[in-house]
Amino acid sequence: MKYPQTCILQFAKAPRAGHVKTRLEPALGEQGALELHKKLVRHTWQTLHRADVATVQLWVDSVAESDFFSTLTPMVETLHQQQGADLGQRMMQAIAQTLAQFEQVILVGSDCPALDEGYLSQAVNALESADVVLGPASDGGYVLIGMRQLRAEVFRHIKWGSDQVLMQTRARLEQSGCQWHELPERWDVDRPEDLSKLDGVILIEG
């Protein structure tokens, strides 16, 4: 493990038909969107472990629905429950809790197949001189955020799920006066037009 004082948090929704990847349902149907969600969660989990950059934790929106998560390999030792009324509060709480045990925290979603060891290492190294690191997404959000101390203001008054997330986050960072570093842009899978980017990408199965 390259960075034992760093923890990577993977955020994931429990796979429930009609509740995950709903913007992809016009192209894939409800069941197709559900199956893609499962593949992306599994792919991200295994990618993070194979990279062996840092400790990895899985944070989910419902630990009560653990059947799917129990099938992941490597085995999930502990499922962590997300807490908060919106995505910002959930990320803030998870980062705050983890920073009590680790010097740095990197949080990623489960829908960016472009994450790899090099990108994760760049994020960790950026925190040597920056307070916050961001991995911009091509759709106006971000695929990664990392901190060495909690910056709660970064998660407040953000229009989550919109193409304004990155712009609004930059504004919060600027207002707070902290130093931040942005990694190269990456793509994620949220909208029907993103599906073509999966051509040639082998998602890890089993």
Render each residue's pLDDT in the chain as its tens digit; 206 residues. 999 999 999 999 999 999 999 999 999 999 999 999 999 999 999 999 999 999 999 999 999 988 999 999 999 999 999 999 999 999 999 999 999 999 999 999 999 999 999 999 999 999 999 999 999 999 999 999 999 999 999 999 999 999 999 999 999 999 999 999 999 999 999 999 999 989 877 675 54
Look at strands 55-60 and 79-81 and give their pairing: parallel
pLDDT value of position 203: 78
pLDDT value of position 54: 97
Distance, CA of 116 to CA of 161 (rounded, Å): 24
Distance, CA of 115 to CA of 117 (rounded, Å): 7
CATH topology of domain 6-196: Spore Coat Polysaccharide Biosynthesis Protein SpsA; Chain A (3.90.550)
φ, ψ of residue 135 in degrees (nearest 5): -110, 95
pLDDT value of position 206: 46
44: CB partners within 8 A, 6+ apart = 10, 12, 108, 109, 110, 111, 112, 113, 115
HEC letters along the chain: CCCCCEEEEEEECCCCCCCCCHHHHHHHHHHHHHHHHHHHHHHHHHHHHHHCCCEEEEEECCCCCCCCHHHCCCCCCCEEECCCCCHHHHHHHHHHHHHCCCCEEEEECCCCCCCCHHHHHHHHHHCCCCCEEEEEECCCCEEEEEECCCCHHHHCCCCCCCCCHHHHHHHHHHHHCCCEEECCCECCCCCHHHHHHHCCCCCCCC
Domain ranges of the chain: 6-196
pLDDT value of position 205: 57
pLDDT value of position 177: 93
Cβ atoms of residues 40 and 113 within 8 Å: yes
